[in-house]
Structure 1
Amino acid sequence: MKYMLYAGLAVAASLSTQSIASEPLAAITAIKADKTLLTDIEYTGKQLVAVGKHGTVITSVDAKDWQQASVPTQVLLTAVTFNGSERGWACGHDATIINTTDGGANWQLQQVNTQLDKPCLDILFTTEQHGFAVGAYGMFYETTDGGENWQKRFLDSLLFTEDQEYLNDLKGSDPDAYEAETASILPHFNRIVATGNKLMLVGEMGLLAHSTDDGKTWQRDEEIYMGSFFAYASDERGEEIVAGLRGNIFSRHPDGQWQQIDNNKTATVNSIIKAAENHWLLLANSGVIFHYINDQLTVEQLADGKAILDAVIFDKQLIMASENGIKVKGMAR
């Protein structure tokens, strides 16, 4: 999702709440918390919730006045998700996962592993109890109890054939080396998305994978590009769009093949949202917003040139989480 961008900005086994090695520090209260690096934003149905640098979580009911939440960590938070208006989860560096039961005002620590030194990059709950957290080097956690316990999984079905054979040989001959290899042999999982009939996982080295059984098993899709994907979206008609590094964007109609979209703007795409029927917004680095309308791509660029990490449409405005905090832009009627 945003792993490479964070590095560029220079901001940067089963685990449960009992696995916490040391007590993390609470996020520092900031006067202008809405002006710091913000990496993700959601609308819960009642209010906006954005997360970002140093454990910052901010909420607003009008996109004008923002309140900072009580958060038990200072790590860079990379993603936030809600299931309903009150229950939410966020994840970040050190495999940190936090949750809220009051719409985002107060958060509790569910998991952290400072020794792992890997960021969680996206988080998704398909029900109030069933969720997934994914990240660097094939990080994949699953919970079936609302995040009270997170089980670590190794998705060996997403390995290339030669890597599967290598690990199978290593598992019998050198168990310690096998454990070490499984910690880094998979690509970064940058985004996990629930569609109408499947889960999609996209990431490094052109990874596209899907699950049709609620995450129990995963299969690689066809390879269409060997760079990193950070964003994926689909709609109720089955239209799909995936994008990532250096402005590489692909779309697919139902039952069709992936087609690369002509684009001479090389800004890395971080997120994709639906603006209207047949109108996608792709939020990118350097203040770039790609508009994909009826199979045609146009580009606009914000004057400040700051990376846009995510956005939501609220009250006929585009509310953006950016490298420079909250940005608000009116939407055309």
Structure 2
Amino acid sequence: MKYLLFAGFSSLACFTAHSLAADPLYAISAIKADKTLLTDIEFNGDQLVAVGKHGTVITSPDAKNWEQANVPTQVLLTAVNFVDTQNGWACGHDATIINTDNGGNDWQLQYSNATLDKPCLDILFKDAQHGFAVGAYGMFYETHDGGKQWQKRFLDTLLFEDDRDYLNDLKESDPQAYEAETASILPHFNRIVATNEKLVLVGEMGLLAHSLDNGQTWQRDDEIYPGSFFAYGINEQNEELVAGLRGNIFSRHGDVMWQPIENIKTATVNSIIHDDKGNWLLLANSGVIFHYKDSQLQVEQLPDGKAILDAVIFEQQLVMASENGIKVKRITP
């Protein structure tokens, strides 16, 4: 997911809620929880919900007054996603997945596995039952029951052809080595996004992939850049942006080929959002906000120079999750 942090299918395991997790340690209550490292933020229709360091989850109805939620983990949380005003999920290090059914005020532990030593980097639910959690070294979990059970999947169609052939041979000759290789041969999956027509997955080593059947099968797109992607967005005009390491940004419209956007600022892009007027905002390291519209890229840099991990547009304000907490910036018409 965030740079600051770090059509085949085979089912390897199915984990139930709390599987492989010891008794959870609850997030420590902090007086200034809105000033700590925050990695993701979302507006669920009722209130803003942000997640971050040491299991911190904070909520606010107005972007001014923030309350810390009751959270059964102390790991770094990396992503949050809501399907409605009440039901949401968050994920983080130690493959931790938590959920809420009261809008983000209280959370329950669904899954955690410290022995796996892999962070979950993004989480996406299509509805209250069907969701995905993705992360380091090809981590890909799927649930069809709201997270009561998470099924681990290995997306071998996203391998390069030589790697796929190597694994097929290894599976026959040395099953134990095969299992070990599948744990690390895929690149990091940094972001999973749902559009009206497809699911999109972006990640390390130029990974850009899509699924047209709700995640059942995946196809790797032609490589347009060998470095890591951390962010993807699409607007109502079917314009797509993908961005990542060192300010590399690409755009396309419809079925045309991806085109690089000229950019002299090398700040890594962490997230992409857009408003209803066709303005793209790309949130980046070093306090950089890229503004993109009508093929023109402009650069804004906040004075403190702190990484911006994500943001939402809320009541004519840009509410940002950053490495030193919540930042609010008025949006000029």
* TM-score of the pair, normalised by structure 2: 0.97
Secondary structure of the structure 2 residue equivalent to 1:206: coil
In structure 1, what is the Cα distance between the partners aligned to 2:19 and 2:190?
Answer: 24
Partner of 2:199: 199
Structure 2 residues without counterparts, runs of 5 or longer: 7-12
Q: Which amino acid aligns with 2:331?
A: M
Higher relative contact order (CA 8 A, sep 6+): 2
Q: Which amino acid aligns with 1:117?
A: D
Q: What displacement does 1:18 show? A: 4.8
Partner of 2:244: 244
Q: Which amino acid aligns with 2:34?
A: D
In structure 1, what is the Cα distance between the partners aligned to 2:128 and 2:258?
Answer: 33
Q: Which amino acid aligns with 2:279?
A: H
Secondary structure of the structure 1 residue equivalent to 2:185: coil
Q: What displacement does 1:19 show? A: 1.9
Structure 1 residues without counterparts, runs of 5 or longer: 8-12
1:124 and 2:100 are equivalent in the alignment:
no
Secondary structure of the structure 2 residue equivalent to 1:54: helix
In structure 1, what is the Cα distance between the partners aligned to 2:304 and 2:275?
Answer: 22
Partner of 1:105: 105
In structure 2, what is the Cα distance between the partners aligned to 1:269 and 1:169?
Answer: 38
Q: What displacement does 1:38 show? A: 0.2
In structure 1, what is the Cα distance between the partners aligned to 2:17 and 2:254?
Answer: 42
Partner of 1:5: 4
Secondary structure of the structure 2 residue equivalent to 1:166: helix
Q: What displacement does 1:277 show? A: 2.8
In structure 1, what is the Cα distance between the partners aligned to 2:20 and 2:326?
Answer: 32
Percent sequence identity over matched residues?
74
Secondary structure of the structure 2 residue equivalent to 1:196: coil
Residue by residue, what CA displacement relative to the aligned partner does 1:47-81 show, whole Å, maximum 9, x if unpaired?
00000000000000000000000000000000000
In structure 2, what is the Cα distance between the partners aligned to 1:204 and 1:58?
Answer: 29
* TM-score of the pair, normalised by structure 1: 0.97
After TM superposition, the runs of 4+ consecutive aligned structure 1 residues lying more than 6 A away are: none
Partner of 1:10: none
In structure 2, what is the Cα distance between the partners aligned to 1:116 and 1:277?
Answer: 43
**For 1:86-97, what aligned pairs fall within 5 Å after superposition?**
86-97=86-97
1:311 and 2:293 are equivalent in the alignment:
no
Partner of 1:267: 267
**For 1:1-333, what aligned pairs fall within 5 Å after superposition?**
1-2=1-2, 4-7=3-6, 13-333=13-333
Q: Which amino acid aligns with 1:252?
A: R
In structure 2, what is the Cα distance between the partners aligned to 1:151 and 1:25?
Answer: 25
Is the Cα contact below 8 Å between 2:75 and 2:94 reproduced in 1?
yes
Secondary structure of the structure 1 residue equivalent to 2:45: coil
Query: Cα distance 1:290–1:18, how it changes in 2: closer, same or farther (>3 A)?
Result: closer
Is the Cα contact below 8 Å between 2:18 and 2:112 reproduced in 1?
no
Q: What displacement does 1:24 show? A: 2.0
